Amino acid sequence: MPTLNVKYKIIIDIDIVSGHMDIVTYITGDAFPNCEAFIVGPGGRAIYLGIHVRKGAPPLSLSLNADYPMIVSALRLPLNNNGSFKGTVGDELFRQANKYPKLSFHKIADWNYRFTSIPANSGHCMLLEKASLENCFNGLLK
């Protein structure tokens, strides 16, 4: 019987002098089902580290036991003196990919909305689940 495989590497570095936490997340697995990762601060506030919309369908995805990259992130979270989140998130991977010289920060609510606003079937081919071609050819036709 196939298993749900998710492997993760999470590196957290807290700089108490500069007052921030850096979190690097690398999650791999069989790409089924959907996956989300988040951190919750001491005040109970959650910040998304990333999400993954499933690939394939259970029979194929689960039987392959692949090691598919599902979530990759590198975030900076400014901290208050008591260790709680200040209320913003900096996306280091985005900064590096776009060659920006300085890290920009977003409000936690705006950052989380980027993930919570993505439909559960976003970009997922629905052929096997609903006998629908919805999302099966995304990116092929322009």
Give the pLDDT confidence of 9-67 residue by residue, as tens digits. 899 999 999 999 999 998 777 666 667 778 998 888 899 888 776 665 555 555 555 67
Would you say residue 111 lies in a domain?
Answer: yes
Mean of per-residue pLDDT scores for the chain: 77
Whose tokens are 């985005």? That residue is 94
Whose tokens are 């999470």? That residue is 10
Q: How far apart, in whole angstroms, are the C-alpha atoms of residue 39 and residue 25?
A: 11
Terminal alpha carbon distance of the chain: 40
Q: How far apart, in whole angstroms, are the C-alpha atoms of residue 39 and residue 123?
A: 25
Q: How far apart, in whole angstroms, are the C-alpha atoms of residue 21 and residue 94?
A: 17
**Number of structural domains in the chain:** 1
pTM of the model: 0.72
* Domain encompassing residue 92: 6-130
Would you say residue 80 lies in a domain?
Answer: yes
Would you say residue 23 lies in a domain?
Answer: yes
pLDDT at 107: 97
Burial tier of 21 (Cβ tally within 10 Å: 0-12, 13-18, 19+): buried
Would you say residue 96 lies in a domain?
Answer: yes
CB 108 within 8 A of CB 47: yes
A 10 A CB-CB count for 79 gives 18
Would you say residue 102 lies in a domain?
Answer: yes
Would you say residue 83 lies in a domain?
Answer: yes
Would you say residue 136 lies in a domain?
Answer: no
Would you say residue 43 lies in a domain?
Answer: yes
